[in-house]
Chain A
Amino acid sequence: MTSQVQALRAADGATLDLASVAATLADQFTVVTRPSQLIRRVRLDTFDRRLHAAELTLEHQVAGSQERLVLDGPACSSTVTVPATEPRWPVLAAGLPDGPIRTALAPVIGIRALLVVSDEKRRVRRLELHNEDDKTVARVQLDEPATATAAPPQLTVLALRGYEDLAGRALRLLTRAGLRQVDHREAHAADVQPTAGIVATSPAIELLAAQLGEFLAAMRDNLPGLLDDVDTEFLHDFRVAVRRTRSTLKLGRLALPEVMHRRWEPAFKWLGDLTTPVRDLDIYELDLPVMTTWLVAAEATDLDELAQHLRRRRSSARRAMVQGLRSARFRRLMAGWHDTLTRLAEGSQDLTGEQLSAGVLAQRSIRRAYRRVARDGAAISPESPAEHLHELRKRCKELRYALEVFAPVIENGPRKRAVADLKSLQDVLGRFQDCEVQRLALRDFAEEMMADGTPASAVLAMGELIGHLDVEQDRARERFDGAFAGFTRPSGRQRMQRLGGGR
């Protein structure tokens, strides 16, 4: 079992040469050169790189007739290898072979699918370092591209558990011979932020164009996975980007040209609406396992009919959505929007609004959004209908987006705390609203299912769910006053006023 890995590179300009590495190590070890192997390495991760963030790497390796999955990385106590034959990607956690890799990965990837992020043919040559008993005590591996386009060669020293000191000794021999250790972080250069260089005095339009460009990129990135139905989060993230676009257009009205309001706000509303039904149904499918645990009188299997009904509804909703996303209208929207953003970013003459600085627009927007939340929230009484709480939830989202969109030009400390304050309130409102929507929808489903001749047991089980949602909704409602008071408490208000430019 490998426990530690240290990557090395040649001194500037020099090439890595395994023969001279072996000669260096022969000083203190018996060096055995293994035959070189051609390995196809298929690197896997979720679309949002959850494995990378958790310092794990997962590879499907094919060497000759041998296929295996290898889980490794600094966060792994030891390399885990499992034989795997022709796994199909993308795959959800449940689709991985049963065993240690699935156990280790399931909590990390959650509901996301594993996809191929790179697929390279490599030539791997290994040296085994033996002691006097001819026991392998460390390994050195040279991993070279077998094709011109692949990543550059890499030399690594692999330590074995219980023999780490000997890997250390090998490492010292190699560094003394002129090789350089690669810092783990150095391997991954930081992404360049598109909003880099934008400050409070920059024109507001510059910040808005940069952010809108980011959201468009997110929509495009998520589109293929969404169309292929790889996992539920492609649609979710696509919708977040659409919602952020809509909020930014709204927040930016003062600084943006009129056409943005007239043409693009309705266009993105259409796109949002197009994707809503599938998302709503996704939420049920994701929640169903938890909902099953709510049942008291009914059996878990009584919900099978509901699950089937949801799947049928979802596939027809998906057909409609996919049709919309493959339509000329959608293509025109994406192309036209790209074009508009390009011209906006270039400061095109026909696309100007009021000359405002990013800082001023940020202050105005945050101030305004905060006032609305405070005003609407204060007006909520025990008699307020659910609709009013729903409206308040939307106001909160606007404030949240304002705090996000203008993040590059406002103070980060107070901003983060303001978001945290807001989040508790949003959680309560979100739970309240979700219960409301799910309760009503379950009623509709029950009617549809009864019309289809579903057995009573299924409908009764759904009744239990509705009862549970009702209680939870009341509970969320009870927590509202406390959450709102927490949000409007003096320290929070002061913070918000500071972000909103005083007073």
Chain B
Amino acid sequence: MKVLATYNIKGGVGKTSTAVNLAYLAAREGRRTLLWDLDPQAAATFLFRVRPRVKGGGRALVNRRRPIEAALKATDFENLALLPADFSYRNMDLELDDTKKRTRRLGQLLDSVSGEYDIVFLDCPPSVSLVSENVVAASDILLVPLIPATLSMRAFEQLTRFVSEVEGRRPEVVAFFSMADRRKRMHRDVIEAMRSNGSCVADTIVPALSVIEQMAQHRAPVPAFAPTSRAARCYEQLWAEVRPT
């Protein structure tokens, strides 16, 4: 089982859109896929039309009073299950803090379903927190959407530093440009700069496309409602680049 997290310290950069679309593509090619919506705002949960409710809340999951299997919801798509968000996830830091191995607990929880899934996506809240420390420790790949702006480069540097400070096994960090506008000169320059300073940046760029925004109306992944759109092709390309073998 491989764990792939979409992560960025900043919000509104495309983490959820990416997690939802890539999870859909992974499932479509036959991988048994789980998406865990860790963000109390529940955007991914909403996009799959699932109610943001976990019995016993994040607390029951974290302290293992309820197995995560009991909280799983089938999505409308084959091979794709969701572990929904719950508003109580906003307190997850506190709950994790109460456990032994406080930085490893999420990974341990995922071990209990490792026989059932080939790939797990973690859609993370934008923060540096105990939850994100857990996510980093549990992941094989951190996929980082970046909006090509100087500010977001700073955030990326912070993030890389944060990852490098995590003890034990570290995930591979792969950045990609999200909502990029090739016509904007500044965007082009930033992309060049990133590449040249040796960061692992995916070749695929996901431009700013209105179809992606429409996910909220359709409440579905892009390739499900607009399979031939440019956006769908971009996500397919991105998936081909980052998918674990």
Interface residues of A (CB under 8 A from B): 1-3, 68-69, 77-83, 97, 99-101, 133-136, 160-163
- The listed residue (A80, A97, A160, A162) touching B79 by CB distance below 8 A is A80
The residue of chain B having its C-beta at the shortest distance from the C-beta of A136 within the complex is B76
Instruction: Offer 27 A-B interface pairs, CB within 8 angstroms, sorted by A.
Output: A1-B32, A1-B74, A1-B81, A77-B116, A79-B78, A80-B30, A80-B79, A81-B79, A82-B29, A82-B30, A99-B30, A99-B31, A100-B30, A100-B31, A100-B118, A133-B50, A133-B219, A134-B49, A134-B219, A135-B48, A135-B76, A136-B76, A160-B73, A161-B72, A161-B74, A162-B74, A163-B73
A2 to B76, CA, bound (A): 10
Most buried by B among A69, A97, A136: A136
Q: Does B188 contact A (CB under 8 A)?
A: no
Contact call B74/A133, Cβ cutoff below 8 A: no
A420 to B27, CA, bound (A): 47
Chain A proximity of B193: nearest CB distance (Å):
39
- The listed residue (A78, A99, A101, A133) touching B116 by CB distance below 8 A is A78
| Residue total for B at the interface (Cβ-Cβ under 8 A) | 21
Chain B residue contacts of A97, Cβ below 8 A: 30
Chain B proximity of A228: nearest CB distance (Å):
29
- The listed residue (A79, A80, A134, A162) touching B72 by CB distance below 8 A is A162
A123 to B49, CA, bound (A): 29
Contact flag A161-B73 (CB < 8 Å), given A1-B79, A1-B81, A81-B78: yes
Q: Does B243 contact A (CB under 8 A)?
A: no
Contact call A133/B49, Cβ cutoff below 8 A: yes
Chain B proximity of A141: nearest CB distance (Å):
14
The residue of chain B having its C-beta at the shortest distance from the C-beta of A84 within the complex is B30
Most buried by A among B29, B72, B74: B74
Chain B residue contacts of A77, Cβ below 8 A: 116
Contact flag A83-B30 (CB < 8 Å), given A1-B80, A100-B118: yes
Chain B proximity of A423: nearest CB distance (Å):
33
Chain B proximity of A208: nearest CB distance (Å):
49
Extra 11 A-B pairs, beta carbons < 8 Å, given A133-B50, A161-B73, A162-B73: A3-B74, A80-B79, A81-B30, A83-B28, A99-B30, A99-B31, A100-B31, A134-B219, A135-B50, A136-B76, A161-B72
A2 to B79, CA, bound (A): 9
Chain B proximity of A98: nearest CB distance (Å):
9
Contact call A161/B32, Cβ cutoff below 8 A: no
Chain A proximity of B30: nearest CB distance (Å):
3
Chain B residue contacts of A68, Cβ below 8 A: 30
Chain B residue contacts of A134, Cβ below 8 A: 49, 219
Q: Does B51 contact A (CB under 8 A)?
A: yes
A101 to B31, CA, bound (A): 10
- The listed residue (B29, B76, B81) touching A161 by CB distance below 8 A is B81
Chain A residue contacts of B49, Cβ below 8 A: 133-135
A279 to B179, CA, bound (A): 64
A161 to B78, CA, bound (A): 11
Contact call A160/B74, Cβ cutoff below 8 A: yes
The residue of chain A having its C-beta at the shortest distance from the C-beta of B48 within the complex is A135
Chain B residue contacts of A100, Cβ below 8 A: 30-32, 118
Contact flags (1/0) for B26-56 with A, using CB distance below 8 Å? 0011111000000000000000111100000
Contact flags (1/0) for B72-99 with A, using CB distance below 8 Å? 1110101111000000000000000000
Chain B residue contacts of A80, Cβ below 8 A: 30, 32, 79
A135 to B72, CA, bound (A): 15
Contact call B74/A163, Cβ cutoff below 8 A: yes
A80 to B29, CA, bound (A): 11
Contact call B81/A133, Cβ cutoff below 8 A: no
The residue of chain A having its C-beta at the shortest distance from the C-beta of B46 within the complex is A133
Contact flag A133-B51 (CB < 8 Å), given A80-B79, A161-B72, A162-B74: yes
A100 to B118, CA, bound (A): 7
The residue of chain A having its C-beta at the shortest distance from the C-beta of B116 within the complex is A77
Chain A residue contacts of B48, Cβ below 8 A: 135
Most buried by A among B28, B31, B49, B71: B49
Contact flag A83-B118 (CB < 8 Å), given A133-B49, A133-B51, A134-B219: no
Chain B residue contacts of A162, Cβ below 8 A: 71-74
Contact flags (1/0) for B48-74 with A, using CB distance below 8 Å? 111100000000000000000001111
Chain A residue contacts of B28, Cβ below 8 A: 83
A1 to B23, CA, bound (A): 14
Chain B residue contacts of A136, Cβ below 8 A: 76
Chain A residue contacts of B79, Cβ below 8 A: 1, 80-81
A445 to B210, CA, bound (A): 70
The residue of chain B having its C-beta at the shortest distance from the C-beta of A135 within the complex is B49
A162 to B49, CA, bound (A): 13
A79 to B79, CA, bound (A): 7
Chain A residue contacts of B72, Cβ below 8 A: 161-162
Chain B residue contacts of A101, Cβ below 8 A: 30
A78 to B80, CA, bound (A): 11
Contact flags (1/0) for B108-136 with A, using CB distance below 8 Å? 00000000101000000000000000000
Chain A residue contacts of B118, Cβ below 8 A: 99-100
- Which residues of chain B from 14 to 32 have a CB within 8 Å of any chain A CB? 28-32
The residue of chain A having its C-beta at the shortest distance from the C-beta of B83 within the complex is A162
Contact call B74/A2, Cβ cutoff below 8 A: yes
Contact call A83/B73, Cβ cutoff below 8 A: no
The residue of chain B having its C-beta at the shortest distance from the C-beta of A159 within the complex is B74
Chain A proximity of B241: nearest CB distance (Å):
19
Chain A proximity of B77: nearest CB distance (Å):
9
The residue of chain A having its C-beta at the shortest distance from the C-beta of B113 within the complex is A77
A188 to B217, CA, bound (A): 47
A79 to B77, CA, bound (A): 11
A68 to B79, CA, bound (A): 13
A133 to B49, CA, bound (A): 6
Chain A proximity of B183: nearest CB distance (Å):
37
Contact call A1/B31, Cβ cutoff below 8 A: no
A139 to B48, CA, bound (A): 17
A161 to B219, CA, bound (A): 19
